[in-house]
Amino acid sequence: MEAMMSPAVLNRAKCVEWSVASCALPGQRISGDRYVIQSWAGGVLAGVVDGLGHGEEATAAASAAVEVLERHAGESVIALMQRCHRALQPTRGAVLTLVSIDAGENTAAMLGIGNVEAVLLRANPQARPRRESVLLRGGVVGYQLPALHADLVPFGAGDLLVFATDGVQEDFGDELEIEEPLPQLVERIMAEKFRGTDDGLVLACRHLGAS
């Protein structure tokens, strides 16, 4: 692996702690994979954006989406996806997955267009389902948007949410440990699952419960 990531660190935003690790396609200077963690009045918006392809044009598309998401984080994930679609039309487009975490209701509204995977693992071993994935819909934001429908699921104290772009093997969520420190978790996934054929990014968030 030529372009190695910087060490992951632990961050906190409102009701979540989070960490991220990313790596550009070997031989490339920049990555077209971006993420957003943005607090809003009732919680936190978490998302990962993968600009189509790689290099500067992919980065420009992903960065345009992140700018929109950070500015309007308190809106619904459907409204945010529509805003991104309009903003990305002059670009090559992107795929992205958004999760809006409501700190008061202990819920998460989830919406994914394209192939940015996201896996939710609940802290309670008796929860059913214990693990679930964001339902991904086909399309490209900025080019072709399908009918949009968000899924609302429980997301409470101790629960873990992990995103990964398609530069990371799809089975990244098979061996998640609910209590693993997040910087260690994202670095481990990148070390073990990075394909090396595209940019890769892993974002992990853990719900901290009521403050």
- pLDDT, residue 37, reads 97
55 Cβ partners below 8 Å, 6+ apart? 28, 30, 32
- pLDDT, residue 1, reads 37
Q: Omega into 125 within 30° of 0, i.e. cis? A: no
Distance of CA 179 to the CA centre of its chain: 19
Type and span of the H or E element at 19: strand 16-23
Q: pTM higher than 0.85, yes or no?
A: yes
Q: What band does 4 get if pLDDT is binned at 50, 70 and 90?
A: low
- pLDDT, residue 29, reads 84
In the numeric block, the tokens 């260690």 are attached to 184
- pLDDT, residue 146, reads 95
- pLDDT, residue 211, reads 54
Kindly give the pairing relationship between strand 117-121 and strand 33-40.
Answer: unpaired
**What are the residues facing 201 on neighbouring strands?**
22
Identity of the residue numbered 144: Q
- pLDDT, residue 6, reads 66
Nearest to 65 by CA among 51, 45, 54: 51
Mean pLDDT of 120-147: 93
Q: What is the pLDDT of residues 32-69, one digit of tens each?
A: 999 999 999 999 999 999 999 888 999 999 999 999 99
- pLDDT, residue 127, reads 87
Q: What band does 196 get if pLDDT is binned at 50, 70 and 90?
A: confident
